[in-house]
Structure 1
């Protein structure tokens, strides 16, 4: 029997997940089972899928090209995020109810405070992504807004990507102000956005030595791009332009509520990709593409368990190649024959432009 969105069961589930995310209190395995039961009860398609392949195997991300399973058709959809897709392809989308969106916002903000912001004064957050106001359909815009408003200096933090591309004049003003005030800077955005920015700034002969504690967190990698950079080469370029010595990478998908952060700074993947951490709320797993069994070492398909998803199945099987290591799982790009997807492609195209030069 289907569970209604306003059923007390859902409210208790929301509260228990929130407690796990914020305070680390609760039983992740028990929450996993409760979410599996919810998906089976509310989605006959998911129930049939798990009967075929085994309970709890991730729902393929390709399912969301047709909007995918949504567990609460009885509740209003307050936000719908869309993947960028590729030329000639169907864009995917995911829908959020009020409770689901609140849980996503809580997860993004909590993990940003935990993994991104060092101790000290709030940094000047510079977002290499369009604003949530301009692009409400982009999950990355929503996530970056939560990081900016949760972690950033309220006066100097800003987005620097608009309809015409990167506003380099605005970027320079905010970086100069941060240096003058001695405030650390946190720059976040797509990996290729930083490639574009470093190319443009070096061509102009512009460089900064940002205050101690400044950092750069990129995401999205180089899937679908003609130009590919090793992790350490990108970080070297960013270091030359901005004088930053602290780096991190976050992996996000439109289909997920959470982002995956680095577990260590040890190169694992072919481009030096770092392993991703597992958290109480879930994290990356590796599936054997032939047997569908979970792997503790070696290569396979990336599966992500995200206990912060209540509007759709909380296990997602992606088309990404994953490498299981002792300290986490490295994500090493799309598998051969896979298609690019996600917010980063459209974001990369935006950052190739220039305004305010």
Structure 2
């Protein structure tokens, strides 16, 4: 029997999920079980898929190229985000109900607080991502706006990517002001956006020594781009241009509600990718692509469990290569032959060659 969005059971589940996200309070296993039952009740295609491959196996991300399973089809979505796709390919989409979007916002804010406010200082957050006004259907625009609101210095924090690309004068003015006031800076955006920006700033001879505590967080990787640099090469360029010494990577997908930060600063993948941890709200694991069994050590397909996700099945099987370690899972890019897509592609288009 289908469960409605306004059913009391969904309301109680929402409260349990919110407590887990915000305070890490509650029983993740019980929430996982309830979300599984909700998906079986409200998505017949998912129920049939699980009957074939095993209950709880991640729904392939390719299912979202035509909208994918949505657990509350009769509830008008309050937000729709789209994957960027590759040139000429169909863009995927994911829909959020009111409760689902509230959980996503809560998850992004909670993750940002834990990663960015360790010393209690609100840094100047510089977003290498467009605003929601410019890109309302990009999940990264939504996420970065919430990150800035939650953690950023309210006077100086800003997005530096607009409809015409990177606003380099605004970037310079913002960084100069942060240096003058001695405020740490958090630079956050898509990996390839940083490659383009660093290339241009180095070519122009622009450099800063940002205040102590400044950090750079990149996300998205290279998604099959012809030009690839290692994690350490990217960080070396950021040291030269921005004078930062602290780094991290954020893994996120349009299909997911949560973002995943590095567990430890230990290179694992072929480009030096760092592992992401398993947390109370879930995280990445690795499945053998042939047997679908979990892999404790070594390579396989990345599967993400996201207990912040209400509107669609909370386990996603990606087309990404993962390397399982005792510290977590390093996400090492798309598997050969897998569709290359993600927010960083469209951001590359917005930041490159300008």
Q: Secondary structure at the match of 2:194?
A: helix
RMSD value over aligned CA atoms? 0.8
8 A contact 1:166–1:353 mirrored in 2 = no
Deviation of 1:353 (Å)? 4.2
Q: Which residue of 1 aligns with 2:6?
A: 6
Q: Is the 8 A contact 2:223 2:342 kept in 1?
A: no
Q: Distance in 2 between matches of 1:120 and 1:37?
A: 40
Report the 3-state secondary structure (helix = DSSP H, G, I; strand = E; otherwise coil) of the residue aligned with 1:160: strand
Whole-Å Cα distance in 2 between the matches of residues 322 and 205 of structure 1? 37
Structure 1 residues not aligned, in runs of 5+:
none
CA contact (8 A) 1:287 1:300 kept: yes
Q: Which residue of 2 aligns with 1:300?
A: 300
After TM superposition, the score normalised by the length of structure 1 is 0.98
Structure 2 CA distance, aligned partners of 1:70 and 1:319? 20
Residues in 2 aligned to 1:12 and 1:139: alpha-carbon distance in whole angstroms: 26
1:181 lines up with 2:216 in the alignment: no
**Equivalent residue for 2:286?**
286
For the pair 1:109 / 2:114, whether they are aligned, the reply is no
Which residue in 2 is equivalent to 1:97? 97
Q: Which residue of 2 aligns with 1:242?
A: 242
- Give the whole-Å Cα distance in 2 for the aligned partners of 1:344 and 1:202: 21
Contact 1:118/1:213, CA 8 A, preserved across alignment = no
**Corresponding position of 2:330:** 330
Aligned to 1:156: 156
- Counterpart residue number, 2:340: 340
SS of the counterpart of 2:130? coil
Instruction: State the alpha-carbon separation in 2 of the partners of residues 120 and 315 from structure 1.
Output: 33
Separation of aligned partners in 2, 1:110 and 1:257: 12
What TM-score, normalized to structure 2? 0.99
- The Cα of 1:74 is off from its aligned counterpart by 1.9
Task: Show the 5 A alignment for 1:74-93.
Answer: 74-93=74-93
Aligned residues: 354
Partner of 2:53: 53
- The C-alpha deviation readout for 1:80-120, integer Å capped at 9, x for no partner, is 00000011211100000000000000000110110133314
Look up the match of 1:263.
263
For 1:126, the equivalent position in structure 2 comes to 126
Q: Distance in 1 between matches of 2:82 and 2:38?
A: 24
CA offsets per residue over residues 155-181 of structure 1, 9 Å max, x none? Answer: 101100112211110000000000000
- After superposition, the C-alpha distances for 1:223-266 in whole angstroms (9 at most, x for unaligned) are 12111011011000001100000100000100000011101011
Q: Distance in 2 between matches of 1:34 and 1:66?
A: 26
Runs of 4+ deviating beyond 4 Å: none
Shift of residue 73, structure 1, vs aligned partner: 1.3
Correspondence 1:230 to 2:248 = no
CA displacement 1:252-282 (0-9 Å, x = unmatched): 1000000111010111001110010111000
Q: Distance in 2 between matches of 1:189 and 1:265?
A: 19
1:116-167 alpha-carbon deviations (Å, 9 max, x no partner): 3331421110000110111110000000000011110111011001122111
**Equivalent pair of 2:224/2:333 in contact (CA under 8 Å):** no
Matched-pair contact (CA < 8 Å) for 1:165–1:353 = no
Alpha-carbon separation, structure 1, partners of 2:122 and 2:89: 41
Range with greater deviation from structure 2 (344-353 or 172-181): 344-353
